[in-house]
A = this chain, B = another copy of it.
């Protein structure tokens, strides 16, 4: 089957998706051949449409079809939850009762990836804090070295503006078996233990 050119090209296209190897891409390609022509057309259109229509919101930096996204129009920026990537907004939105605004940095400060403070949307965050007189900035970057560095860096930067900067609590996750928790998580949980 190595010689069906358009099938090979389709397989290669699927391989560009995250976590998709050759076998999975081939399986996807075969399934496309079994779809209705109409559905394949819709699939192709949805790819082009999404890529062309979706830009970044000028306020929060999240994906949006309009200049300012609905979340920014709806929620006031008294509390801003700062995340690294658009997909983290999705994760945070699982908490149904958070009504503040989001701010997407598009990365973290990470020397290994040659990303400094000027490469992520920190300036935009400071502008928003000043403009909307934000009372609290919640740093919801990932609990790893890059995420922690970014959180501390932004906390320092925001000090002059008198805004409260908080960080998502770190510790053992709900439902974890302590037996299987890693030592860094455990020692962090011990360090940050709460009064009962």
Contacts and interface: CB of A to CB of B under 8 A. Distances in A.
Interface string A1-17: 10111110110110011
B54 A7 contact: yes
A53 B17 CA distance: 23
Contacts of A93: 1
A70 interface: yes
Contacts of A30: 86-87
Contacts of A4: 54, 63-65
Interface in A14-61: 16-19, 26-33, 35, 37, 39-54
A6 B86 CA distance: 15
A14 to B, nearest CB: 8
Given A1-B63, A1-B93, A28-B17, A37 B52 contact: yes
Interface residues on A, range: 35 or more
Q: Main secondary structure on chain A at its contact with chain B?
A: helix
A175 to B, nearest CB: 18
A13 B43 contact: yes
A132 B51 CA distance: 52
A146 interface: no
Nearest to A27: B18
A49 B1 contact: no
B40 A54 contact: no
Contacts of A189: none
Interface of A: 1, 3-7, 9-10, 12-13, 16-19, 26-33, 35, 37, 39-54, 62-65, 70, 86-87, 89-90, 93
20 contacts: A1-B62, A1-B63, A1-B90, A1-B93, A3-B70, A6-B50, A6-B65, A7-B50, A7-B54, A13-B46, A13-B47, A16-B35, A16-B43, A18-B28, A30-B86, A32-B47, A32-B51, A33-B51, A40-B51, A43-B47
